[in-house]
Amino acid sequence: MKISLQRFFIFAISIVFLCGTLTAGILYYHTRYTTHAIEKLKDSVESATSTQLIQQNLAIHRRQALLKGLRPRKERIAQTEAAKKNLLIAIDALFGYATSPEEVILVNKLGDKIRSYISNYEILRNEGLSAEKLYESVSEEYYQAQEAIQDLMTFNLDEANQVQSQTSEQSKTNYELIFSALFLLTVALAVFLLGIRRYFYNPIIKLKNLIENFKIGHNLDNEILRGAVEIQAISSSFINLSSNLAKQNKQQLNFLSSIAHDLKNPLNAIKMSLELISDDERLSSQSRQMISIIDRQTNHLMTLISDLLDTTRIESGDMKLNLRPVDILKIVNDSATLHSSLSRFHEIMVTLPNEPVIILSDEERLSQVFNNLFNNAIKYSPNGGKITVTILASGEYATIEVIDSGVGILQTDIEGIFEPFRRSSTTRELIPGIGLGLSASRKIIRAHEGGDIHVTSEIGNWTKFAVILPIFKKINVNKNSSVINC
């Protein structure tokens, strides 16, 4: 299934938007419904309050018939008129709280009963009936009005209970819908995160590891990464690029190998010719000295060519280590001695322990590594100077440090110098080289379990290569310094 980055995010955002909109809609509806229910409950409460006020004022009005002759006429009339006024005001107020046709009918019925009671009361009062007769004469209208009041109060109570019950049920339904929407949103977010992890995060991590493996020289699998279309395209392009680079490197290695073989033949002829000439007893001492120098330089060239052939084989993946216990002190010292005649402007100081440091290694391969390090130390210190070599044995590992006083390496170039055909940008135009020595050296050192090589540098001042190798036989370390003048 092909998933593109754009489509994935559009789909995810759409799902989140849909769930969010649904949740917001439910919340809005719930708020509107609750507000309406509160208003309806408020009207029911206000209606019940007005009904109670009517009931109170109706009772006050009725009592005035019994108070005739017991209280002053003026005070009684004022009380009666006040009660009448309050009754009519309350009746009018009830119409404002009526929210249903049934309630309007009940309010109209109550209003009719109240008005009928007041009208009949005033007619009989004007006829001059006694208090007892007036009280009895309006009793029927009074009780009918009280019955209408009870009907309205019962209706208001039932309506309030119904609104409360409906609100409770609706709130429960709304909460269930909100929970469902939030659950769907959570599921959508979980699927979104899982999708990101599966189609983006994991492939990106694999692509990063792929690049890191390519950077340190590991062979790459040609399988295209699974994931988003864009990541597949990137991985496909990178694999094609790495494959093309590998082919180019192989072509260059084959070319260098053929050149090394071609150079070896004339050097062998020169070597044999020097041996024949040196047997001539008629040669002067000066001639023999010159022949010795030529022979020594020829041997050095033969060593360089052999190292180049070995390097091309190592870079091609054809490296076999003949492991046996060897003394690293002897290998380093021999390499320093070999390079002692290459420059009279350099001084090599080697600091060695008194006791041997035994490691399990291939002596020829290890000599190749240190020959390359010494050769670089001299080559990249064009103005001469001191080359310091220190061997430290501590715990389970030995550390061999080679420090020159040369041009240095930029921090941005340090990791790249261990890659095939890569050289420091500060020297590639000034100092000749092909950029294979350090790459092969690191492969040799890392072929030893726990072995590694590191470099630190200060541009324009010094460069330090530190070779770390596991100790095969532990020894007690005491330092002893020797100086080799070159």
Under DSSP, the state recorded for 411 is G
Q: Is residue 203 part of a domain?
A: no
| 276 and 129 share one domain | no
Distance (Å, whole) CA 443 – CA 216: 10
Q: Domain range holding 385? A: 322-485
Residues 276 and 408 in one domain: no
Residues 89 and 234 in one domain: no
Q: Which of 287, 312, 337 is the last residue of a domain?
A: 312
In a domain, 260, yes or no: yes
> Is residue 200 one of the residues assigned to a domain?
no
233 and 358 together in one domain: no
* Residue 263 sits in the same domain as residue 295: yes
Indicate if 22 and 129 belong to the same structural domain.
Answer: yes
Residues 329 and 251 in one domain: no
| Amino acid 369: pLDDT | 92
Q: How many CB atoms lie within 10 A of CB 423?
A: 21
Dihedral of alpha carbons 474, 475, 479, 481, sign: negative
Report the C-alpha gap between 117 and 115 in whole angstroms. 5
At 80, list the tokens: 């009666």
DSSP 364-384: HHHHHHHHHHHHHHHHT-TT-
Cβ-Cβ contacts under 8 Å for 133 (sequence gap 6 or more): 124
Q: How is residue 225 annotated by DSSP? A: P
What is the count of structural domains for the chain? 3
Helix (H, G, I), strand (E, B) or coil at 408: coil
State whether 157 and 93 are in the same domain. Answer: yes
Q: Amino acid identity of 457? A: S
* Residues 275, 328 within the same domain: no
Q: What is the CATH number of the domain that holds 159?
A: 1.20.1440.210
Q: Which residues contact 15 (CB under 8 A, 6 or more apart)?
A: 188, 192
Residue 214 within a domain: no
The pTM assigned to this predicted structure is: 0.49
The pLDDT assigned to 65 comes to 59
Does 261 share its domain with 401? no
State residue 220's pLDDT score.
62
pLDDT at res. 216: 60
Same domain, 371 and 465: yes
Q: How far apart are CA 317 and CA 444, in angstroms?
A: 11
Task: Please answer whether residues 12 and 188 qualify as being in contact, where contact means their C-beta atoms are separated by less than 8 angstroms.
Answer: yes
DSSP state of 348: E
Rounded to an integer, what distance in angstroms lies between the CA atom of residue 313 and that of residue 367?
16
CA dist 326 and 123 (Å) reads: 138
Which parts of the chain register pLDDT below 70?
A: 1-3, 5, 64-73, 131, 215-224, 253, 307, 315-319, 425-426, 428-430, 432-434, 473-486
**Are 296 and 328 members of one domain?**
no
CATH number where 359 lies: 3.30.565.10
* pLDDT per position as a tens digit, 182-238: 787 788 788 878 878 877 778 888 888 877 777 666 666 666 677 777 777 887 787
Q: Residue 52 domain-assigned?
A: yes
Q: Which residues contact 333 (CB under 8 A, 6 or more apart)?
A: 350, 352
